[in-house]
Amino acid sequence: MDKIKILTFSTLYPNKIRTRHGIFVETRLRYLINNNLVESRVVSPVPWFPFKWSFFGEYAKNSHIPRKDIQHNIQIDYPRFLLLPKIGMTLAPLFMALFSYRKIKAIQQEYDFQIIDAHYFYPDGVAAIILGKWLKKPVTITARGTDLNLIPQYYLPRKMIQWAAKQANGMITVCQALKDVLVELGVPEEKVKALRNGVNLELFTPPQDIALLRKKLSLNGKCILSVGHLIERKGHHLIIEALQSCPEVKLYIAGDGEMQEKLETQVTQLQLQNRVVFLGALSQQELRNYYAGVDMLVLASSREGWANVLLESMACGTPVVATDVWGTPEVVAAPEAGVLVDRSAEGISRGIKKLYSNYPDRKQTRLYAEKFSWDATTKGQEDLFKNILDRQS
């Protein structure tokens, strides 16, 4: 049987400069192609920026991203597109499509893909629909979180999302909550599949000797972990504030971002320098060790589609405290998984204390995570692609 040839299209894909950027897209794709029924090339558009000087911060990093790469035997192209300040959000889908078209046409000469598989509804999904019309190819779109729980608040992007959803040959959401949003936007329910993200159960595993691991990482006493970009949405500042009511707890923060200086100032003002450690951005292997060594992961996000860090922690046998938002209740759905809290310092503090007072068996937490393999998601994607191609023939 011939493999289904897809073109994965998304700005959310790892690169040499941002190695964890969109890693959930890469992970899902790797599991999909490892099943040997689907193959893929990747096109990951990058906003164009003319200068490489570090003075320009995050913008300059885009200039260092290579034009093409191969990762895990997957060929990736990173075409540049114009993203204008202020009006960029509205024009981004059109510019992304225009500036990617020539590269995709060149790819098509050697790899005649059958489906464009886009990740992130706006602007990526809208751009993919435009490209699909130009190239006469069917398009699938996966919604992942902010693309549906925030962007539709803006009038024109909302209209473009609704147009793209109407034109798409199939849609996937990473949780039921996001599928409900699409239905509220007028999309027929039967046109959307909710396929949750899985977790790499081989990489994220409980430690053989937790005492030895904790000693290696210098983890003493009660230790909790917060993971994510240092931005307001991830709520690290709320966890730091919550420490005031948890006097014996030490917090480790994994991630980097624009709020680092502000968070460090907050730690100093609250005189928590001896109880908060900034780890910086960690590799998945490094994260695995911290997941496995701490007592719990705390996620204080204001919105999440499907937070992979929750399952990664549980797969290491470590329960979680997480804010009750969007798809998170679908992840934290049993006592052995952890507890849900409201998004406030007080709520987080109560959740930490509650989990410590009724701490689950870590083996049960691992068993809970084992329900979330990638098998069902991979099968769901394969079935979707087959159905689309059957309808096209």
Q: What is the 3-state secondary structure (H, E, C) of 142-155?
A: EECCHHHHCHHHCH
Domain architecture of the chain: domains with CATH:
4-198+373-392 (3.40.50.2000), 210-369 (3.40.50.2000)
Nearest to 61, CA basis, from 26, 10, 124, 18: 18
Interval 165-215: pLDDT, tens:
999 999 999 888 889 999 999 999 999 999 988 899 999 999 999 999 999
Which among 221, 224, 214, 218 is positioned nearest to 349, based on CA atoms? 224
pLDDT at site 254: 97
307-347 per-position pLDDT tens digit: 899 999 999 999 999 999 888 999 999 999 999 999 999 99
Q: Residue 197 CB: number of other CB atoms within 10 A?
A: 22
> Average model confidence (pLDDT) for the chain?
92
Percent of all residues in the chain with a pLDDT value above 90, rounded to a whole number:
78
Q: What is the pLDDT of residues 264-312, one digit of tens each?
A: 999 999 999 999 999 999 999 999 999 999 999 999 999 887 889 999 9
pLDDT at 52: 59
Does residue 60 surpass a pLDDT of 70?
Answer: no
Tell whether the model's pLDDT for residue 50 goes beyond 90.
Answer: no
In the predicted model, is pLDDT for residue 13 greater than 80? yes
pLDDT over 80 at 88, yes or no: no
Q: What band does 54 get if pLDDT is binned at 50, 70 and 90?
A: low
Helical spans, DSSP H, in the chain:
23-34, 58-61, 88-110, 126-135, 146-149, 155-167, 176-184, 210-216, 236-242, 260-269, 284-293, 308-315, 328-331, 345-357, 362-369, 375-392
pLDDT for res 51: 55
Strands 296-299 and 74-77: unpaired
CA 232 to chain centre: 16
What is the model's pLDDT at position 86?
62
β-strand partners of 237: none
The per-residue pLDDT for range 111-133, each reduced to its tens digit, is 999 999 999 999 999 999 999 99
What does the pLDDT read at residue 146?
77
| pTM, rounded to two decimals | 0.83
Note the pLDDT of residue 194: 93
Backbone CA torsion sign across 372, 376, 382, 383: negative
In this predicted model, what pLDDT tens digit does every residue of 211-224 receive, in sequence order?
A: 999 999 999 999 99
Joined together, the tokens standing for residue 371 give: 């329900």
Q: Rounded to an integer, what distance in angstroms lies between the CA atom of residue 168 and that of residue 115? A: 11
Which pLDDT does position 328 carry in this prediction? 92
